[in-house]
Amino acid sequence: MSLKFASQSQKSIPLYVLENEECEEFLITLPEQARVWASAQGFSGGLGSFCVLPSAEGGISGVLVGYGDAAARARGRFHLAGIAPNLPKENYHVARAPKSFDFDAEALGWLLAGYTFDRYRTQTTCEARLVAPDEVDASRLEVIAEGEALTRNLINTPTSDMGPDKLQEAFFALAEKHYAKASAIVGDELLEQNFEMIHTVGRASAQAPRLLEMRWGGRGPKLTLVGKGVCFDTGGLNLKPGASMALMKKDMGGSAAVLGLAHMIMALELPIQLRVLVPAVENAIDGSAFRPSDILKSRKGLTVEVNNTDAEGRLVLADALALADEEETDLVISMATLTGAARVAVGPDLAPYFTDDAGTVSALEAAAAKVADPVWRMPFHTPYDALIEPGIADLDNAPKGGFAGAITAALFLRRFVTEAPRYVHFDIYGWQPTAAPARPKGGVGQGTRAILDALPEILKL
C-alpha cells in the first residue's frame, strides 16, 4: 500500500472538482468532444460521481469529479477518496476545486484510501496516486496517514498474532524508530511494584500481563497518554456470548490509538515531553481467573469490588492512570474501547470523550471539525458518583442497573487522576462496521487527529 503523495515532477492528470450548481457553467468551457462525452455520461456534479475524459490519443485528458452540495457532503467525509479506488492507475492533481473544497481532509482521505490490511491475503489496492495540492502540508499529512495505518494494523491483527507479547514488540519497535526509551513490567513483577489490578485481570492468560512505558522528548509541556491494551476479552468468568466475543481482538483499540497518536507526535517532532503507558493483558479463564465479588486493591490505594469480570478494562487503566498521576504532567489522556453504553449513545462513528476543562473542550471541538475527526463531549456527571460506591469497598467496577454505563466508567477512572491539572478520557469504538471512503471495514483510529490538531492550543505550544 502507498501512503505517500505522488511526486510533483511526475506527469499527472487534472481533476476538475465541481459542485452541482457550477457543473453546467464549467462544462461549457470544455472542448466540444469532452463536453459531448460528459453529457452522454450524464455527469451533473453529483457527490461521488466522476467522468473520465478521453484524449485524442486514446488516453485520459482529465477527470470530472462531482462534489455535490453542502447537504450531501454533510452526510459523510473524505469524498474525493470515494472515487480514488475506481480511477485508472495514474497520477492525478487537483486542477480546479470549488471554494467549499477541504484540501487537507480530501488529500488525507486520498492517502488513507491507499490503506489495505494484507497480512494474511492479497488485497485489492488503490493504485491512483495524488500529487499533493499546494494548499496542504504534504509531509504532515503523510505522517498522520502512517499513524492511522499503524492503529488500523494493530487492531486488525488477531490475538493469535497480537497478544500482550506481540503488542509489547510493536510498542518497543515504535520506541526504537523514534529513539524513545521503552520499558516493561511483566508478570509477577507487577505485584512487586504495586500493580495488583493489572496483574489480576491478566494472570489467567497463557501470556503474562504487563505494563508498557515509553518516554520521548526533553523539552516542552508534559503529555501522558494511557491506552487500554486488552488484547482479547472473553469476559472472564462472566463469559461473553459468542456473538459478543467476535470482535474482541479490537479491545486493545485504545492502545492502538495512542500508539498511532504517539507516532504522529514524535514524527512531527512536537515540542512535548511525551509519556505513553499501556497495560497489556488478555482477559482469559483458568483456575486463577479473578471472580465476581473479589475485592482488589489498586495502586492508588482505593479498594475495588468486582461485580463483573467483563468490566476489566477500567481495572487495568486505573492502575496505569494512578502511575501517570504520580508524576507531574500537564495533561493526561486515556483512550479505551471501554463500554457498549458509549456505542449505544453515539454509535460507531463518533468518539465520545469526557473532560471538565472548558479550554480543552473548545480546542477539541474546533480541531475535530477542522480535520474531519468527529468527537462528542459526554459529562463527568458527579451526582452519579454514588452509583460506583458499593459500600463494601471504595469502588464498584460494574454498578447494577445499567444506567449511564459510559459515564459511570468514566467517573471510575477519574478517581485515579487527582493531581494532574487536566484529564481527558476517550471511550472509542475503534472499528469501522461498514466500508466508507478512506475507511475500509475493520480497525480505525478515532479522536487521534483531533487531539493532534488541538494539542498546540491545549498545551500552548
CATH number of the structural domain spanning residue 352: 3.40.630.10
Single residue among 106, 136, 166 that ends a domain in this structure:
136
Query: What pLDDT, on a 0 to 100 scale, did the predictor assign at position 58?
Result: 84
List pLDDT tens digits, range 173-212: 999 999 999 999 999 999 999 999 999 999 999 999 999 9
Do residues 243 and 107 both lie within one domain? no
pLDDT tens digits, residue range 152-181? 999 999 999 999 999 999 999 999 999 999
Are 68 and 47 within 8 A, CB to CB? yes
On whether both 354 and 246 belong to a single domain, the answer is: yes
**Pair 194, 91 in one domain:** no
Together in a domain, 39 and 158: no
The reply to whether 28 and 149 lie within a common domain is no
Short-list 378, 374, 377, 379, CA closest to 446: 374
Whether the predicted pLDDT of 1 surpasses 80: no
Q: Which is it for strands 13-19 and 91-96: parallel, antiparallel or unpaired?
A: parallel
What share of the chain has pLDDT > 70, as a percent? 100
CA-to-CA distance for 442 and 298, rounded, in angstroms? Answer: 34
SS3 label, residue 441: coil
**Structural domain includes residue 6:** no
Q: What is the pLDDT of residues 81-111, one digit of tens each?
A: 999 999 999 999 999 999 999 999 999 999 9
Taking a C-beta distance cutoff of 8 angstroms, is the pair 128, 90 a contact? yes
Residue 358 lies in a domain: yes
How far is residue 393's CA from residue 19's CA, in Å, rounded to a whole number? 61
For residues 132 and 238, state if they share a domain.
Answer: no
Residue 2 belongs to some domain of the structure: no
429: which 3 cell numbers?
Answer: 469504538
Q: What is the pLDDT of residue 402?
A: 84
How large is the average pLDDT for residues 67-71?
97
Q: What is the enclosing helix (H) or strand (E) of 186? A: strand 181-186
Q: Of 101, 136, 171, which closes a domain?
A: 136
- Residue 418: give the domain boundaries: 141-458
User: How far, in Å, CA of 170 to CA of 107, rounded?
Assistant: 28
Average pLDDT over residues 6-34: 94
* Domain shared by 132 and 145, yes or no: no
Same domain for 283 and 328, yes or no, is: yes
Q: Does a structural domain hold residue 285?
A: yes
Could you read off the pLDDT of 387-415 as tens digits, one per residue? 999 989 999 999 988 899 999 999 999 99
Let me know whether 260 and 365 are in one domain: yes
- Is 220 a residue whose pLDDT tops 80? yes
Residue type, 298: S
The catalytic residue positions are: 240, 314
Taking residue 59's Cβ as centre, other Cβ atoms within 10 Å add up to 12
Nearest Cα to Cα of residue 343 among 448, 420, 414, 250:
250
Q: What is the mean pLDDT of residues 423-448?
A: 98
Alpha-carbon gap, residue 367 to 225, rounded angstroms = 18
CA distances, 355 to each of 139, 360, 453 (Å): 31, 8, 17
- Same domain, residue pair 129 and 154: no
Asked if the structure places residue 195 within a domain, the reply is yes
CB of 164 closer than 8 Å to CB of 281: yes
The answer to the question of residue 8 being in a domain is no
Condensed to tens digits (0 to 9), the pLDDT of residues 290-315 reads: 999 999 999 999 999 999 999 999 99
CATH number of the domain within which 109 lies: 3.40.220.10
- The answer to whether residue 171 is domain-embedded is yes
Q: Which of 72, 102, 136 is the last residue of a domain?
A: 136
pLDDT more than 90, % of the chain: 96
Residue whose cell numbers read 453529483: 46
Residue type, 31: P
The confidence score (pLDDT) of residue 56 equals 81
For residue 341, the surrounding DSSP H or E stretch is: helix 340-346
- Whether 323 and 329 have beta carbons less than 8 Å apart is answered as no
Specify whether 29 is located in the same domain as 128.
Answer: yes
**Longest C-alpha distance within the chain, in Å?**
82
Question: Quick check: is 3 in a domain?
Answer: no
Do 89 and 188 belong to one domain?
Answer: no
State whether residue 312 is helix, strand or coil: coil
Count of structural domains within the chain: 2
